[in-house]
Structure 1
């Protein structure tokens, strides 16, 4: 004898109430918005670190290209030891 499986009906009364609870205006998808404060906008305008960095990179690449760029090993060693001393 074969027993047929019970078919489930997708009837959820809580789901129906959920849909009627929200007004139609709030059902619309909201778009993402980004708001930057005026203080942050002023900081972005006055902060010229990117220009300074570009100038430094240009001067370093020029010195490397000319062959006049030299590295001081003692200065590098001092900075490395100072860095690792603060880490421990």
Structure 2
């Protein structure tokens, strides 16, 4: 009869699983998130800058709203809404 002591190599059958889990955790800690923007996306960002004339108009409207001088014609708004919804397929 052969009796092996506690120094047996298969003493803990789950040791390899525990080591793999520890390695995976270590790999996850070492990874970093990276972000890359394509050249096409960069070009779109450059061309998406607002038109200076439109930007000026928006500023004028903002100032009129803040000062309380901006008036809205409800009839004209309703007409434009109806025209928009009648032109939809």
Using the size of structure 2 for normalisation, the TM-score is: 0.51
TM-score relative to the length of structure 1: 0.51
Equivalent residue, structure 2, for 1:34? 35
RMSD of equivalent CA atoms: 3.9
Pair 1:80–1:18, CA change in 2 (3 A):
same
Q: What runs of 5+ residues in structure 2 fail to find an aligned partner?
A: 1-11
User: Aligned in 2, Cα 1:54/1:80: closer, same or farther, shift over 3 Å?
Assistant: same
Could you list the runs of 4 or more consecutive aligned residues of structure 1 that deviate by over 6 angstroms after TM superposition? 50-53
Q: Which runs of 5+ in 1 are unaligned?
A: 1-9
Task: Decide whether aligned partners of structure 1 residues 49 and 71 sit closer, same or farther in structure 2, where only a CA change above 3 A counts.
Answer: same
Aligned-partner Cα distance in 1 for 2:53–2:30: 43
Between the aligned partners of 2:18 and 2:42, the Cα distance in structure 1 is 46
Q: What is the CA deviation profile of residues 29-85 of structure 1, one whole-angstrom value per residue up to 9, with x for unaligned ones?
A: 111000111000011112113867753432112223272x221111222344445x9
